[in-house]
Amino acid sequence: MNVAGFTVAAPAQLADPSPLLCDNIDPETRDFASLTTGADPIDSQVEIALSRVRNSGPSVVYDGSRIREVKKMDDNAQDQARSLVKEALSRLVANRDIRHVGTTFDLWEVGSQSGQLRVQYVNLRAGNDLVRSVTLTMFGG
């Protein structure tokens, strides 16, 4: 681009689709629909912590997980996945929002192309001791 005699870089294009999706807006009230519907805010944060790619943008430098970095289903992959889940949930655990019960591996075979793991936790803010879980499917590189 040429502006007043100076060459400036073209504005950066955001990756498509944007990693930060907008909320649904209630057409009647113009409120964010998710304010009063949907998941418990802590459950939602667990989901974000496990699904968002850590450091994929300046607003999620310390949020999200690096679990997609596990590329090889070798002998160490389970330990690696456990450790990355712990890192992803560390803020919520430190904040006494959840208790991390454990990480189990539902479908997991060394050398295969994919695996499935289950993260179990207790939402300490919800007022009951129900163990909730999030299931993650991983694809080997």
Partner 1 sequence: MTAPDERRFQVYPRGYVRDNVLLQVFRNHLRSLTNPDTGAAFTEDEIARATQPGSRFYIEADAIDVLGQMWQRRGAWFADQVRPTRANTAFLEGYHGELWLGSNPRLAATGGSGAVSAPASAGSVFPGSSTVPDPTGTAATATDPNGYRYQVLETVTTPAGGVATLQMQAIDTGDATNIALDTVLTWSTNQPVGAEPTASVSESPAFAGGYDEETDSELGARIERRIRHRPAGGNAAHFCAWAERASVSVEAAFVYPCAFHAGSVLVAVLQKRGATEGPTARTTVGVAVLAAVTGYLVPPASPVVPERAYVLVTACNPQTSDLVLRAALTEGATGGWADVDPWPAYSVTYPEVIVTGVASQQEFTVAAVAGSLPGGAGSLSGTDAPQLMLWDATTSRWKQLDVTSVTDDGGDQFTIVLGTAPDMTIATDCRLSPYTDRLDVLAESIEAYFDELGPGEVVDLDTDPRAPRAARYPRATNYYSSRAGQVMLARMIEALGGATADVELTSISRSEPDLPGDISDGPNIVVLGNVSIFPL
Residues that bind partner 1 (CB under 8 A): 5-6, 20, 22-23, 31-32, 34-37, 41-42, 44-45, 48-49, 52, 57-60, 63, 91-92, 95, 97, 125
Least distance from C-beta 136 to partner 1, angstroms? Answer: 18
- For partner 1, the closer of residues 6 and 111 by Cβ is 6
- Tally of residues, the chain: 141
Closest CA to 116 of 104, 125, 107: 107
Give CA–CA dist 89/50, Å, rounded.
8
Q: Are 115 and 103 in contact (CB under 8 A)?
A: no
Least distance from C-beta 91 to partner 1, angstroms? Answer: 5
- For partner 1, the closer of residues 11 and 111 by Cβ is 11
- For partner 1, the closer of residues 24 and 113 by Cβ is 24
Least distance from C-beta 87 to partner 1, angstroms? Answer: 13
How many other C-beta atoms can be found within 10 angstroms of the C-beta atom of residue 34?
14
Pair of tokens at residue 87: 């890192």
DSSP state of 102: E
How many other C-beta atoms can be found within 10 angstroms of the C-beta atom of residue 89?
23
- For partner 1, the closer of residues 14 and 110 by Cβ is 14
Least distance from C-beta 63 to partner 1, angstroms? Answer: 5
